[in-house]
């Protein structure tokens, strides 16, 4: 009986802790975590589709990295006891709870299927979008573990962007930023590649 009471008390403390953590987050922070979980899925699913279409890197390696980033956001969802939009759709390829991300998926796969160059441009655009959105989300929170996760994703996205830009240059295309400022884009491209959760051999 004593063991049961201790177990129940421990369980109650865990549940209470989750509830407190959830309550400590603002609506913006909660929505940001859920959005970024699906945005990482957007990248993974688009790269899956484009790899099937073109059978080249960097799509193969980077799509694996995006799964790692999805898992990173899943940890935050679990920590803060949020409802996972990916699980709500059974992690089905190309299906999103967020209407905007659903639209992005359709547009990016459609344009990326036109040619290899358009596929690489689609990849670069996704990474620009990811970096821009992460900057916005970082500014919305003072929570250290959330910021650390976002910075991890952002570092990787910079590496991914460089990989797509390099591959476009190999195709004779000098990529121009669509979402980031030219100054921010130039700084990213000039920076040396670091770890950032990326797979080796992205090219």
- For residues 141, 30, 72, 7, the Cα torsion angle rounded to the nearest 10 degrees is 110
Q: Specify the pLDDT at position 24.
A: 87
Per-residue b or e along 73-91, where b marks 16 or more CB atoms closer than 10 Å to that residue's CB: bbebbebbebebbbeeeee
pTM: 0.84
Query: If we measure between CA atoms, which residue out of 54, 69, 67 comes closest to residue 167?
Result: 54
Q: Cα 78 to the chain's mean position, in Å?
A: 17
Q: In angstroms, how far apart are the furthest CA atoms of the chain?
A: 74
Give the architecture (CATH level 2) of 27-190.
Up-down Bundle (1.20)
Query: 96 and 46 in contact (C-beta within 8 Å)?
Result: no
Q: Within 10 Å of residue 176's Cβ, how many Cβ atoms?
A: 10
Q: Specify the pLDDT at position 203.
A: 56
Q: Specify the pLDDT at position 119.
A: 98
Residue spans of the domains in the chain: they are 27-190
Per-residue pLDDT of the chain (203 residues; tens, 9 = 90+): 444 334 333 433 443 344 445 558 999 999 999 999 999 999 999 999 999 999 999 999 999 999 999 999 999 999 999 999 999 999 999 999 999 999 999 999 999 999 999 999 999 999 999 999 999 999 999 999 999 999 999 999 999 999 999 999 999 999 999 999 999 999 999 986 554 444 444 55
Q: Specify the pLDDT at position 35.
A: 98
């Amino acid at each position: 009986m004593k063991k049961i009471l201790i177990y129940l008390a421990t369980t109650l403390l865990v549940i209470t802790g989750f509830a407190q953590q959830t309550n400590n987050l603002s609506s913006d922070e909660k929505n940001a975590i859920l959005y970024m979980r699906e945005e990482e899925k957007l990248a993974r699913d688009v790269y899956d589709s484009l790899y099937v279409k073109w059978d080249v890197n960097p799509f193969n390696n980077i799509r694996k990295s995006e799964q790692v980033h999805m898992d990173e956001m899943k940890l935050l969802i679990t920590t803060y006891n949020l409802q996972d939009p990916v699980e709500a759709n059974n992690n089905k390829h190309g299906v999103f709870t967020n209407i905007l991300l659903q639209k992005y998926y359709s547009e990016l796969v459609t344009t990326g299927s036109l040619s290899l160059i358009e596929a690489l441009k689609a990849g670069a655009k996704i990474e620009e979008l990811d970096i821009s959105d992460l900057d916005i989300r970082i500014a919305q929170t003072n929570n250290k573990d959330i910021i650390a996760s976002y910075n991890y994703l952002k570092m990787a996205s910079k590496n991914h962007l460089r990989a797509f830009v390099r591959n476009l240059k190999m195709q004779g295309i000098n990529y121009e930023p669509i979402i980031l400022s030219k100054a921010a884009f130039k700084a990213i491209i000039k920076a040396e590649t670091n770890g950032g959760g990326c797979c080796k051999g992205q090219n």
